[in-house]
Amino acid sequence: MSYTLYLLVLEHTEVGQARTAHLATSQNTRAPLYAFLAVGLAVTFLLYVQSLSVMCYVYCLLPLLLWYKSYQGLLSHAVRSAVKNQTVRDLAVSLLFCVAGLEIVIQSFYHRELLSLVLLAMSAWPVARLWWYEDVNGSKVTAVGWSLTCLLVAVYPFLPVVRKETQYNLVIHYKCRNKIIFIIKVVNRKSAADALEDFIMLIFSQIFLVCLSVVTVKLTSDSITRREGLPLVCQLSSWFILGCGPFLPMMCLTNLRARLFSLSLGFFAPYLLLSITYEGLFIVSLFSLLYFWLEMEYETNNRSGDLKFEQVDFRHEGLVKDNITSPTFSRHLELSDLRRAFFFIFLVLIAFFGTGNIASINSFDPVSVYCFLTVFNPFLMGSLLMLKNVMPLLIVICTFRGVHVLTSTPLRSLFLIVLLMSDFMGLHFFFMVKDYGSWLDIGTTISHYVIVMLMNIFLLVFTGLSHGLTCWRIHWTSRREKIY
């Protein structure tokens, strides 16, 4: 954690770059370096003589590296720079809210209802922006929409976790369709006039798949209730929707608003087929929250009005590099990036455990796959359940990539913050691991630690996948197919 924080301050802040330039021009930097190298060689020799393992080298030499970096005084220089620039208050408040939010998230692994407390605090963001930064130019519709969607998603942690009891009437409830129509109107209110004919046809095709999935769920539930099994037509339509749903968004424009909307529709149709109670309502509420998150970040970062939201493209504005010498380098890190990283981590957990038991992944029941198969097949059932868990995560990560594009923040910088926060959570769960008590208590504490530590690996993999989902486009022509 210390070394990650050091890299974050050194490579991705103005203070770190200024300190690096100062040390490069200083004449007294080689003597301490030679001294620490001599100590390192001595430690290495002693470890080699004793024939110790490789891990002993890591344990003994890593503190030496951190002592040398501490001797250079980067963090103390950063604190002095914050005092000089009168940003101590903003820095302290941002760190306080991040630490408090992470502590609440940690406790929410044991008490799922605490997730609603974080969402309640997030709903006050427009008020905090108005009071703290005196930002009066923001849209009232966006502010109200953000607060309402936060409160709406905050309801789900209080609901019972999804179990074997099926309630398909909630899946096909009219509110689900009304919310889809509402999102269509909101997302396309500015871009519909400029949309191309093929884009409109694509959206209508995806809406047709959503309607087809609702009908499939209805027919399947009625057939299973009558103990007639899974109809072959429903099974074929389910696999057809699963294959076409994630594929159709790749044919959409790479415009940020259009592509994210198409991705939401593309994953929503197969997700409905895997829903047994209120998951369909939850996923629509989550999509609405993600949309207003994009709008809020756009208004916060674009107070001058130079950037038009409907003109932002993943393929053009997304080429933001971390290298300061790169011509596409945009800016260093800001305090607002702490908020973005925390929102990302929290929304990932909400997407994963919003309808399930946060204590165990086992709460996701195989009953969800009845639209695809009713014969016991553990490998196929497990794959479908994992796909059900992954689809909301992919939408959250694609939205996070949209935030990265809108704010022109280098993605590596944001992920270093995410890594630092997840390591902070992992350290807590490491000390909470139990080796005594019931098997349930021991397994629960271990699963919490494993979930948090593996989150970084999966997020990196899904971020690479989100690049293809947002930046690649399949062009259909009369003679050939091109994939960009």
Q: What DSSP letter does each residue of 153-164 carry, written as one string?
A: HTTGGGSPPP-S
pLDDT of 417 higher than 80: yes
pLDDT of 307 higher than 80: no
Q: Across residues 294-318, what is the average pLDDT?
A: 76
Residue matched to tokens 């925390």: 342
Question: Given this model, what pLDDT does residue 397 score?
Answer: 93
What secondary structure letter does DSSP report for 307? Answer: S
Tell me the per-residue pLDDT of 38-85, one tens digit each, with 9 for 90 and over. 888 888 888 888 888 888 888 788 777 767 766 566 666 666 666 666
Contact indicator for 21, 342 with CB cutoff of 8 Å: no
When computed from its CA atoms, the radius of gyration of the chain, rounded to whole angstroms, is 25
Distances in Å between the Cα of 186 and the Cα atoms of 179, 229, 261, 423 are 10, 40, 11, 38
Question: Given this model, what pLDDT does residue 193 score?
Answer: 44
Residue matched to tokens 């490998």: 379
- Cα–Cα distance for residue pair 185/367, rounded to 1 Å: 34
Question: Given this model, what pLDDT does residue 321 score?
Answer: 53
Greatest alpha-carbon span in the chain: 85
Tell me the per-residue pLDDT of 94-128, one tens digit each, with 9 for 90 and over. 888 888 999 999 998 888 888 899 999 999 988 88
How many other C-beta atoms can be found within 10 angstroms of the C-beta atom of residue 424?
Answer: 16
pLDDT of 14 higher than 90: no
Identify which of 108, 218, 96 has the alpha carbon closest to the alpha carbon of residue 156: 108
Selection from 32-41, 86-95, 166-175, 445-454 with the highest mean pLDDT: 445-454
Question: Given this model, what pLDDT does residue 484 score?
Answer: 44
pLDDT of 267 higher than 60: yes
Which residues have a Cβ under 8 Å from the Cβ of 112 and sit 6 or more positions away?
Answer: 157, 161, 353, 357, 358
Q: Is the Cα torsion angle 351, 102, 457, 161 positive or negative in sign?
A: negative
pTM of the predicted structure, to 2 decimals: 0.81
Question: Given this model, what pLDDT does residue 394 score?
Answer: 92
Half-sphere exposure of 319 (CA within 13 A, CB side): 5
Tell me the per-residue pLDDT of 431-459, one tens digit each, with 9 for 90 and over. 888 888 788 788 888 888 888 888 888 88
What is the residue-averaged pLDDT of the chain? Answer: 77
Which residues have a Cβ under 8 Å from the Cβ of 231 and sit 6 or more positions away?
Answer: 219, 220, 223
